[in-house]
Amino acid sequence: YRNLSEVRVWGVEIEGEWDIRPDLRLSGAASWQKGNQRASAGGAKTPRTLPPATAVLGLSWDVPDSAWTFDVVGTFAAGVTETANPDNFKPAGYGVIDGFASWDVTDRAVLNLGVKNLFDKRYFQASAAGYSATAPNARTARANPIELQTGPGRVFTASLEVKF
């Protein structure tokens, strides 16, 4: 890490939710940001490595006359096109779908189940843009290959939430 003389970041965020019906909700959020940096006073401005445009869309269904809720969430990110160092890795855009279910076992206990990255998509998050696209030597490539920066594959989750 190093100190920078100047950093400027700007962007936009928006989010919203719409009750399509009493039991069906659509939600969404999106963000976009851009920036530049100057390593030293009077030095050249270079692009600031920032997450690309990202959107999250969700659909939630509360099953009528039931204790079940089902959610589907999609996360979509554009590819990284600018990095502070032009030799850095630039992850491609991606989209992943997550699925969740919750069951109100009692009025004080909820069982949550989920599958993240439902289709087991291989992707790189924007944070991988801080890594060199090519390792400086074979030893570094073996010790810290870019493959270690892939996003998580399919993940199963389960939890029991108890309210006291």
Please report, for residues 75, 94, 123, 141, 146, the alpha-carbon distance to residue 133 in angstroms, rounded to integers and kept in the order given.
Answer: 25, 18, 15, 10, 8
Asked if 129 contacts 85 with a C-beta cutoff of 8 angstroms, the reply is no
DSSP collapsed to 3 states, 106-121? ECCEEEEEEEECCCCC
The set of residues, in sequence order, having a beta carbon less than 8 Å from that of 39 and lying 6+ positions away, is: 2, 4, 5, 46
Nearest to residue 28, comparing CAs of 71, 61, 57? 57
Using pLDDT thresholds of 50, 70 and 90, give the confidence band for residue 136: low
pLDDT in tens, 8-45: 889 999 999 999 999 999 999 999 998 887 777 777 77
What confidence score (pLDDT) does residue 81 get? 86
Q: Is the pLDDT of residue 104 over 80?
A: yes
pLDDT in tens, 72-95: 999 999 998 888 778 888 899 999
